[in-house]
């Protein structure tokens, strides 16, 4: 069941990867779109920023399996429709709908994983979940891109749609039906949604993983995009391939045993601190390629432990759903702001200024976690 739900996460991440990885091929299909082509990617992030927590509220209210199946089904329909390569406005509209399905999946699936995993397996299971984005991008880069280059992006969209439809059937067939408590409640109004937003972000238990996640996502995607350009050209391809692999490897091989001895939040703070120390190697003359790979290995601690912190800090399925909604919201905010902010700092302050800004983000992540830990201790 855990692997099935992780595969649902791969499908959700594929909603980003199927556009981002073959981006040049997509641009050839829509040459008239110009700079607006980037909206095909950012529309999913905008949906997450606006509605991430709302997705958590809805999933907790109306049932995890039910909404996960709906999210996978809507994602399948969107992908199959996109395989017809409709006009740009229609394609953009389909991406907005797809963004809503993406949100439901990334909130419902990890909540269900935490719910069905035994206490012994919960930490490793959430660490596995944390790899879904990087693994999906790797699969699309290794297998999907060559396929799209030979048969066109239509084939990539069709395969993604078929995979999402298959996952919807498997989730409906194998997962137990939602219990009565998960679907009870009166009509959910706008005022109640706002109230639950306030309660969730005021909670040092629900909001803590998402607050740290914001500072992680402010740098992860942006550094994948920026750092290779600062390396010697002969090293770029190898380093770009190794950076996410190092992060995945540490998440799976290091975080899982560490969770037996340390709370997840402490591992997150250690990951931020180690990442900042690695970046100090820039001023000490460390090789840039080794620094990049070591940085992403250290960030693997943050990646794996952030999701493991959700069930550690929140005992009920409702609070875990809200915490996953907050993670989606803060993650999309960080992904959207990170690259333009760091590019601006790079232009004004050079490589050293940009790396100093990244170190500042990691320091703020540590301080915010310490503050929330103090609040939890006093509650």
Please enumerate in sequence order all residues whose Cβ is within 8 A of that of 263, keeping only pairs 6 or more positions apart, or say none: 309, 312
Q: What is the CA radius of gyration of the chain?
A: 20
Looking at the structure, tell me whether residues 100 and 202 fall in a common domain. no
Looking at the structure, tell me whether residues 183 and 198 fall in a common domain. no
Domain count, the chain: 2
Instruction: Write down the pLDDT at residue 187.
Output: 63
Looking at the structure, tell me whether residues 141 and 223 fall in a common domain. no
CA angle (316 as vertex; 310, 320 as ends), nearest 5: 35
pLDDT digits (tens, 9 = 90+) for 37-67: 878 877 888 888 888 888 888 888 888 899 9
Instruction: Write down the pLDDT at residue 148.
Output: 92
Looking at the structure, tell me whether residues 50 and 121 fall in a common domain. yes
Global pTM reads 0.86
Measure CA 160 to chain center. 18
How would residue 183 be classed by pLDDT, with cut points 50, 70 and 90? very low
| Terminal-residue alpha carbon distance, the chain | 35
Whether 184 has a pLDDT exceeding 60, the answer reads no
For the chain, how long is the longest CA-to-CA vector?
Answer: 61
Determine the Cα–Cα distance for residues 368 and 62; give it in Å rounded to an integer: 32
pLDDT digits (tens, 9 = 90+) for 276-317: 999 999 899 888 889 999 999 999 999 999 999 999 999 998
Looking at the structure, tell me whether residues 6 and 116 fall in a common domain. yes
DSSP code, position 22: T
Q: What is the span of the domain harbouring residue 109?
A: 1-188
Instruction: Write down the pLDDT at residue 189.
Output: 75
In this prediction, residues 222-230 reach a mean pLDDT of: 79
Looking at the structure, tell me whether residues 216 and 117 fall in a common domain. no
pLDDT digits (tens, 9 = 90+) for 105-160: 999 999 999 989 988 899 899 999 999 988 888 888 889 988 999 999 999 999 99
Residue 185: what are its φ and ψ, rounded to 5°? 125, 155
Any idea what the CATH number is for the domain that residue 129 is in?
Answer: 1.20.1250.20
Please enumerate in sequence order all residues whose Cβ is within 8 A of that of 90, keeping only pairs 6 or more positions apart, or say none: none
Asked whether the beta carbons of 327 and 206 are under 8 A apart, the reply is no
How would residue 179 be classed by pLDDT, with cut points 50, 70 and 90? low
Looking at the structure, tell me whether residues 198 and 268 fall in a common domain. yes
Whether 186 has a pLDDT exceeding 60, the answer reads no
Looking at the structure, tell me whether residues 195 and 178 fall in a common domain. no
How would residue 168 be classed by pLDDT, with cut points 50, 70 and 90? very high
Looking at the structure, tell me whether residues 296 and 246 fall in a common domain. yes
pLDDT digits (tens, 9 = 90+) for 232-241: 878 877 887 7
Looking at the structure, tell me whether residues 133 and 275 fall in a common domain. no
Whether 178 has a pLDDT exceeding 80, the answer reads no
Determine the Cα–Cα distance for residues 68 and 85; give it in Å rounded to an integer: 26
In this prediction, residues 69-97 reach a mean pLDDT of: 95
Alpha helices, H only, 142-232: 145-151, 153-174, 180-183, 190-202, 208-217, 220-226
Nearest to 103 by CA among 36, 163, 39, 58: 58
Of 188, 217, 247, which one is at a domain's C-terminal end? 188
C-alpha distances in Å from residue 121, one per residue of 126, 261, 288, 307, 333: 9, 14, 37, 13, 30
Of 128, 161, 188, which one is at a domain's C-terminal end? 188
| 79-83, Cβ contacts within 8 angstroms, sequence gap of 24 or more | 79/15, 79/18, 79/157, 79/158, 79/160, 79/161, 79/164, 80/157, 80/158, 80/161, 80/162, 80/165, 82/157, 82/161, 83/154, 83/155, 83/157, 83/158, 83/161
Output the average pLDDT for the chain: 89
Whether 194 has a pLDDT exceeding 60, the answer reads yes
Instruction: Write down the pLDDT at residue 357.
Output: 95
Looking at the structure, tell me whether residues 116 and 195 fall in a common domain. no
Of 188, 218, 239, which one is at a domain's C-terminal end? 188
Looking at the structure, tell me whether residues 152 and 71 fall in a common domain. yes
């Amino acid at each position: 069941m855990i692997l099935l739900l992780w595969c649902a996460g791969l499908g959700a991440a594929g909603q980003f990867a199927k556009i981002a990885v073959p981006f040049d091929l997509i641009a050839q299909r829509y040459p008239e779109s110009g700079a607006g082509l980037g909206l095909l990617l950012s529309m999913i992030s905008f949906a997450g920023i606006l509605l991430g927590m709302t997705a958590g509220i809805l999933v907790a209210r109306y049932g995890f399996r039910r909404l996960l199946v709906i999210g996978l089904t809507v994602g399948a329909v969107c992908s199959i429709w996109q395989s017809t390569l409709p006009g740009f406005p229609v394609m953009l509209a389909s991406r907005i709908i797809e963004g809503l399905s993406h949100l439901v999946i990334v909130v419902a699936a990890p909540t269900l994983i935490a719910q069905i995993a035994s206490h012994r397996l919960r930490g490793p299971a959430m660490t596995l979940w944390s790899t879904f984005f990087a693994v999906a991008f790797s699969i699309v880069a290794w297998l999907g891109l060559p396929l799209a280059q030979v048969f066109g992006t239509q084939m990539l969209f069709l395969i993604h749609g078929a995979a999402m439809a298959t996952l919807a059937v498997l989730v409906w067939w194998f997962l137990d039906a939602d219990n009565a408590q998960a679907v009870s409640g009166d009509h959910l109004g706008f005022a109640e949604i706002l109230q639950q937003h306030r309660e969730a972000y005021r909670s040092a238990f629900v909001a803590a993983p998402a607050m740290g996640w914001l500072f992680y996502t402010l740098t992860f995607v942006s550094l994948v995009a920026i750092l290779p350009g600062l390396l010697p050209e002969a090293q770029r391809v190898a380093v770009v391939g190794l950076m996410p692999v190092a992060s995945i490897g540490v998440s799976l091989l290091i975080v899982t045993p560490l969770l037996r001895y340390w709370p997840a939040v402490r591992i997150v703070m250690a990951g931020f601190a180690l990442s900042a120390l690695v970046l100090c190697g820039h001023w000490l003359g460390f090789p840039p390629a080794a620094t990049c790979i070591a940085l992403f290995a250290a960030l693997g601690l943050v990646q794996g432990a952030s999701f493991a912190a959700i069930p550690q800090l929140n005992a009920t399925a409702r609070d875990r759903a809200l915490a996953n909604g907050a993670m989606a919201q803060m993650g999309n905010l960080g992904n959207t702001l990170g690259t333009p902010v760091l590019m601006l700092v790079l232009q004004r302050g050079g490589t050293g200024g940009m790396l100093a800004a990244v170190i500042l983000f990691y320091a703020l992540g540590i301080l915010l976690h310490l503050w929330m830990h103090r609040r939890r201790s006093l509650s």
